[in-house]
Structure 1
Amino acid sequence: MKKTYNKYDAIIIGSGIGGLTCGTLLAKHGLNTLILEQHFKPGGYVTSYKRDKFTFDVVHAIGGLKKGSQIERIFSYIGVDKKVEFIEIDKTFKFIYPEITIDCYTDINKYKQELINNFPEEKEGIHKYFKTMQSIWKEIQSSYYRPTLLQFLTYLIRFPNLVRYYNSTHQEILDRFFKDTRLKEILGSGWGYLGLNNPRISGLYLMGMYMSYHAGGAWYPKGGYQKLSHAFAECFKEYGGNLRLNTKVKKILIEKNRAVGVELDGEKIMAECVISNADTKQTFLNLVGEENLDKKFAEKIKELQQSVSGFVVHLGVEMELPKELNCGCIMCFPEYSTAENNFKLASKNEMETNPEKIGFGLSILTLKDPDLVPVGFHTLDIITMPAPYRYQNQWKRENKEEYNMLKEKMADKLIKAAERLIPQLSKHIIVKDISTPLTYERYTSATEGGWYDIACTPKQSLLKRTPAKTPVNGLYLTGAKTFLGPGMFASINSGLFTADIILKGKLTKGKFMLGY
């Protein structure tokens, strides 16, 4: 065993965007902070990589960067805004269904009119739905990520919509306002950003995600998402933080129910507190260990529903693409039942393989940022989900050639599906890269390659999600597992909230909004 060091105020496991935000805020406030990252670059899922001349991203749009919006305030406070240029996107989504295409504009009034034009008989319900969504957004921003008992008792009066819809799925909320099943499905079409469809997802989470774009705009970091993660890492180091890459944590050291440091491969590093940006189940069941947990708490962690993963084909192509396809992400559904059918198939460890029936998301990075590639070339991400970790019980094969054959076969079907939107796409491919749940597991250590940590069900949302302050003294959580859930907007805020707890309220005093 190498020398044991005892010098850090805080150690953060994982440099996902929540960990980077938390670490940078702690370092800015004078805490001697160490971030440990298993990968060779920071960012977690907020990353980019290159193949030949093409840059590929893992995420597609960030909300909340308009002047005065929460993320803009955080970036300005940290200094990230001085290191990254952001490109504004006027459409968060394009929803494509049989005979109906809806542009989801960040301008909420423009989006409402788009819906009313297609569903005039639902005009009253559309106005009521969006009024409710805007009220929910205001209440979330006025609420507390960690309320005291007295604050919690005021929720019924101060936050009536949060209380009313606290246990509701998005489907249950939609049923209050609409009759047309097509419109209900369309309004839930952004579910891919959070991992569950209407009957399964927390209505507050999905509506909150939409509002992060409607209230704060949709944005793309010029040059790709790795630019954003590198900017955070630079700010962190400028404030005196220490970032170690290619460094995997084996154990969180526990003494008398207190986290006192971490164990690496042959090295122990001690700290006043440990913050895990790692996956929930990895954190408690592997890094802390069941032997260091209360039995009931360990069982509760085991029973948490894990989020889904996805299957993604990244393409570099030489062809012209229409600018009309530019948005955060296109969601293409050949049937109104596509999402529900996908989840039923996933429950059997299957995916849709008929190209005519495959629902997919499509993000064309080079329409957002043309400077990513030479003129005449484009970068595309084609996504389908959920992708079962045990797809046909065949992903995890000892024979790598069989695994590669299986994913190539599925990739060809997904490309064929995308040709419904971009004819002859397959004839213009220069570079192809494929990601499966095993890919995401390998690079992030996320349980079963899950994209969103624990699933965004009503039972696992907001104050019912895993709290940032854990039952293990000195151990804190940040990232998608906490209060606001997954997504860029939520994960950045999670870093703020966790840092605020450790700094004893110096940042937000337990409230949602950053005050400075």
Structure 2
Amino acid sequence: MSRGLKILLVEKNVNPGGYLSSFKRGDFIFDSAVDCFSGIEKGGLISNVLKLLDVDSQVHFVRVDPIRVSMFPNLKVSVDSDINTYMDKLMAIFPSEAAAIRGFFKRASMVYDELQIAINKLISGEFELNIISPNILKLMYSSYEELLVEYITDYRLKAVLSDRCTFVGLPPSKASAFSMIALMMSYFKFGAYRPVGGFQKLANVFVDGIRKNGGKAIFGTEAKQIILDKQNYCTGVKCDNGDEYTTRYIISNADFNHTFRSIMGGKYSSFARDMTENIGSSTSFFIVYAGIMGDAGKYSSIGYYPSYDMEGFFSPDKTFKEDTTIGITIASIEDKSRVPADCNTIVLHEMADGSRWDCVDKSKCTGAVLKKAESIIPDIMDRIVVLDSATPQTLQRYTGNYHALHLAGDRRRCSRG
């Protein structure tokens, strides 16, 4: 829009955001799926977009520091926002790996700096393919596990450095090395933040920015078809209410399966099949939302790992077992506007196969997740004021993602059944 383009946003839900949304249960505000993100500090991608839309003063953020606390057997590691502090902490725990830790993060920093140069060139309109360095290209086609093996020998340290694999829903052997570096380093470079009052605030501000700059947003209407001309160029969209809109450019925020199989008329269904078979998809999540009375600790982003078997956590038959991982977000620790006095919001994420929910006992799954959370937040089940949960089918209904899966962190040459 800063270059004269006007945006039309067509959204099937009545509110914007998808995963980047919030909802209320009683007097508690819960974020639907997102823990925190980077890009808010000066030079960050989200900061730049908000300024381009001239809405940067309409939303406020709280910083999350430490970014994450990872709890392993007999080991708790806080991921400090300052990378040097974090490295010092790791080297104190794993002194024999000190040189390897320095080498790993030196390379990660170099790759991320090269990525930022490419992004800035893209934003300024100066982007060329030769800007992408061989360093980046190599890691795009390597797994995160392959990168770790180049530097790290201690299996515990490998697990600690893989704690964010659960964010992308892929084990180290399938997650892209490049994607994992981009994820990890973005928090060190641009901080970890949440919008005050919930992520819905940010989604709403983006819509305000679109409208403020001459664009239009339509809600409660689904884009049912991408219109193709005789040369198979995309020229517009047709909505489920019969309205049609012409455009020069189209970005589909639906997943690849729905885009190629359905809204492009099925002509490119083979693309979806090939991507599913040859690239693969990450796991989905079962999410529990609990508003509780009383204290919830001092860390607002926690990863619970009852073993160091990071690969094993991603096995479909491990779901809801006592020895599987969960993620915990307690956004009310930094943001009291989300809760009544002396209360907290607890959001629990358990990885789950998105295709197996026809005959699953939702209440039983909720209980299993809460039971694991009690080892970190004592007596949580006795202090619940409001309780809700979302299955992968819930996520699919709101986002349109096939089995609520995605490709964001997958390396291109891997396959996931």
Q: Would you say the 8 A contact 1:195–1:455 is kept in 2?
A: no
| Number of matched pairs | 406
Which residue of structure 1 aligns with residue 325 of structure 2? 359
Which residue of structure 1 aligns with residue 307 of structure 2? 335
Which residue of structure 1 aligns with residue 211 of structure 2? 237
Structure 2 distance, partners of 1:296, 1:360, is 35
Structure 2 distance, partners of 1:321, 1:165, is 39
Structure 2 distance, partners of 1:47, 1:335, is 32
Aligned AA (2:354):
Y
Q: Percent identity?
A: 30
State which of 162, 169, 185 in structure 2 corresponds to 1:195. 169
Which residue of structure 2 aligns with residue 219 of structure 1? 193
User: CA distance change for structure 1 residues 262 and 151 in 2, over 3 Å: closer, same or farther?
Assistant: closer
Secondary structure at the counterpart of residue 69 of structure 2: strand
Per-residue deviation at 1:455? Answer: 5.1
Which residue of structure 2 aligns with residue 489 of structure 1? none
Paired residues for 1:63-82 under 5 Å:
63-82=38-57
Aligned AA (1:331):
G
Which residue of structure 1 aligns with residue 202 of structure 2? 228
Secondary structure at the counterpart of residue 122 of structure 1: helix
Per-residue deviation at 1:80? Answer: 3.0
Q: Would you say the 8 A contact 2:30–2:289 is kept in 1?
A: yes
User: CA distance change for structure 1 residues 314 and 154 in 2, over 3 Å: closer, same or farther?
Assistant: closer
Per-residue deviation at 1:306? Answer: 2.3
Deviations, residues 233-258 of structure 1 (Å, cap 9, x unaligned)? 11111112111111112212222112
Paired residues for 1:309-328 under 5 Å:
309-323=284-298, 325-326=299-300
Structure 2 distance, partners of 1:242, 1:63, is 27
Q: Would you say the 8 A contact 1:308–1:388 is kept in 2?
A: yes
Which residue of structure 1 aligns with residue 394 of structure 2? 439
Q: TM-score, normalised by structure 1?
A: 0.75
Q: Would you say the 8 A contact 1:308–1:455 is kept in 2?
A: no
Q: Which runs of 5+ in 1 are unaligned?
A: 1-25, 398-402, 462-516
Which residue of structure 1 aligns with residue 37 of structure 2? 62
Pair 1:380-2:333 in alignment = no
Secondary structure at the counterpart of residue 264 of structure 2: helix
Per-residue deviation at 1:296? Answer: 5.8
Which residue of structure 2 aligns with residue 422 of structure 1? 377
State which of 354, 358, 373 in structure 2 corresponds to 1:389. 354
Deviations, residues 13-39 of structure 1 (Å, cap 9, x unaligned)? xxxxxxxxxxxxx3x443343211111
Which residue of structure 2 aligns with residue 456 of structure 1? 409
Secondary structure at the counterpart of residue 207 of structure 2: helix
Which residue of structure 2 aligns with residue 254 of structure 1? 228
Structure 1 distance, partners of 2:413, 2:18, is 22
User: CA distance change for structure 1 residues 353 and 266 in 2, over 3 Å: closer, same or farther?
Assistant: closer
Q: Would you say the 8 A contact 2:392–2:403 is kept in 1?
A: yes
Structure 2 distance, partners of 1:214, 1:91, is 10
User: CA distance change for structure 1 residues 73 and 173 in 2, over 3 Å: closer, same or farther?
Assistant: same
Q: Would you say the 8 A contact 1:107–1:214 is kept in 2?
A: yes
Deviations, residues 276-324 of structure 1 (Å, cap 9, x unaligned)? 1111111111000223x3x86465345342222101101000111222x
Q: Would you say the 8 A contact 2:41–2:191 is kept in 1?
A: yes
Which residue of structure 2 aligns with residue 20 of structure 1? none
Q: Which runs of 5+ in 2 are unaligned?
A: none
Q: Would you say the 8 A contact 2:73–2:307 is kept in 1?
A: yes
Pair 1:308-2:261 in alignment = no
Structure 2 distance, partners of 1:151, 1:266, is 40
User: CA distance change for structure 1 residues 253 and 169 in 2, over 3 Å: closer, same or farther?
Assistant: same
